[in-house]
Amino acid sequence: MAGNHEAASAPQTISVSRSAWRWWKNLAARDGRVAATRQLLTALFEFVRDSTPERRRQHYGDAGYDWDHRVNTTSAAVGWRDRLLGVFHSPYQPTEAVLFHEMIAALSAEARFGFCDFVFIDLGSGKGRALLMASDYPFRRIVGLELLPALNYAAQENLSKYRSESQKCFAIESICADATEFTFPVEPTMLFLFNPFPEPGLKSVIENLERSLRDHPRKVYVLYHNPLLEHVLTESVALKKIYGTHQYAVYASD
Ligand SMILES: C[S@@+](CC[C@H](N)C(=O)[O-])C[C@H]1O[C@@H](n2cnc3c(N)ncnc32)[C@H](O)[C@@H]1O
């Protein structure tokens, strides 16, 4: 495992009520109190609806990867408290393997970089599936940051169990921390984002990245899977879009 990391301190416990309050406050500042309260009630209703055994069973649809690799990255096996926290931070969902490899292939065709110069960073790494899949490429090292301790624990278990003949990178770590406070390492970076934060969190991350690029100009690629808040990247002065489909967008520093 790589030793040096640049993470904010690991959260002790994440409070559901504090998370809900912050979520509501951000929405109220943007849309007003009535609209924020309505959105809170809708989110809670959807959470209850998605908690029925029938709905829960549908989540096992993402477990094929786990079966093939003998790991536990499925969203079906996440406890109710972590699922509720996911309503206010970002619900855990692993990236699909075929799409992950397609994204990396598209990026390397577009950019023609040397993997071994780059650190792969997944902000909001969940149970670590993207970290495992990234280890099929010869990255210099791989780092994941996950807010929820239970998911980070599952990621660490997965990293220790994972065996694959195609694995090329073995310097992998999963850190429990708030990724919105992450200080980027001063290395060429491939940043992977799969909708890890609501808009204020994504804005902080992109501002941190811009500051880091101003102080230490270097090559950074951002691979944004399911780019729901793409306008945050589009507005960035330090990043330019180099490729995209309806499923992902790729940005690069100058
Ligand atoms: C959609 S999942 C993506 C999982 C993983 N990156 C993948 O592609 O397989 C988003 C993850 O971001 C995490 N998350 C949300 N807010 C976070 C924060 N502030 N810091 C770190 N992780 C966060 C959630 O707990 C969740 O596990």
Task: Determine the 3-state secondary structure of 183 from DSSP.
Answer: coil
Mark whether 113 and 231 lie in a shared domain: yes
Q: Which atom of ligand 1 is nearest to the CA of 85?
A: 25
239 and 121, same structural domain? Answer: yes
Residue 155's closest CA among 3, 9, 1? 1
- In this prediction, residue 46 carries a pLDDT of 93
CATH code for the domain in which residue 225 is found: 3.40.50.150
Count of domains in the chain?
A: 2
- Structure confidence at residue 10 (pLDDT): 55
Residue 50 lies in a domain: yes
Is the shortest distance between the CB of 174 and ligand 1 below 6 Å?
A: no
Asked if residue 72 is part of any domain, the answer here is yes
Domain boundary among 88, 114, 135: 88
CA of 63 to the centre of ligand 1 (A): 18
Instruction: Specify the pairing of strand 239-244 against strand 248-253.
Output: antiparallel
Q: What is the pLDDT of residue 144?
A: 98
Ligand 1 geometric centre to CA of 197 (Å): 7
Give the end of a domain, one of 40, 60, 88. Answer: 88
Q: In which domain, by residue range, is 60 found? A: 16-88
Q: What is residue 9's predicted lDDT score, i.e. its pLDDT?
A: 53
* Ligand 1 atom closest to 193 (CA): 6
Predicted pLDDT of residue 1: 40
Kind and range of the H or E run holding 191: strand 189-194
Is 197's C-beta closer than 6 angstroms to any atom of ligand 1? yes
pTM: 0.92
Q: Quick one: 113 and 71 in the same domain?
A: no
Distance of CA 94 to CAs 41, 124, 151, 168, 218, Å? 26, 10, 11, 21, 29
Site of tokens 């499925």: 74
Is the Cβ atom of 195 under 6 angstroms away from ligand 1? yes
CA of 168 from ligand 1 middle (Å) equals 24
pLDDT tens-place string over residues 202-216: 999 999 999 999 999
Domain assignment present for residue 8? The answer is no
Which residue has its alpha carbon closest to ligand 1 atom 11? Answer: 124
Q: Which pLDDT belongs to residue 190?
A: 98
The reported pLDDT for the residue numbered 56 is 83
Domain co-membership, 46 together with 169: no
Decide whether any atom of ligand 1 lies within 6 Å of the 182 Cβ: no
Collect the ranges in the chain with pLDDT lower than 50: 1-5
Task: State the pLDDT at residue 6.
Answer: 53
